[in-house]
Amino acid sequence: MAINKFFKQIYQQIIGINDSPHKVAGGFAVGVFLGILPGAGAFAAVVLAYILQVNRAWALFKPVMVGFAAVGLMAALVSYGIIFFIVSVYRRRKEGGSR
């Protein structure tokens, strides 16, 4: 139940923001701008959002989502490579070649 409560708090922080639209848009813009940095993009986005006094939750939103997407893409590529290898070995054995 603690994990459910954690995600509920994150959801409320992102959706139930009491900041002005300008601060929310500024936080998202900082996140988009610095989210392209590998590794330190999320940290840099939060620091710059703090300095510029814009919304830090939305500054963190873009780098985190891109990070999840990159991990998903890498996992898909690795699984494709493994499946390709298995299928090629199977085809060679079926054809009678012992390469």
* pLDDT, tens digit, 9 for 90 and up, residues 22-44: 888 888 888 878 777 666 777 88
What is the domain extent for residue 72?
A: 2-95
Residues with Cβ within 8 Å of 52's Cβ and at least 6 positions away in sequence, in order, are 26, 30
pLDDT at residue 79, as a whole number: 80
Residue 63 has pLDDT above 80, yes or no: no
Q: Three-class SS of residue 42?
A: helix
Question: Cα(39)–Cα(29) distance, rounded to whole angstroms?
Answer: 18
* pLDDT, tens digit, 9 for 90 and up, residues 48-58: 888 988 888 77
Q: CB–CB of 35/60 below 8 Å?
A: no
Angle at 36 between CA 31 and CA 39, to 5 degrees: 95
Domain count, the chain: 1
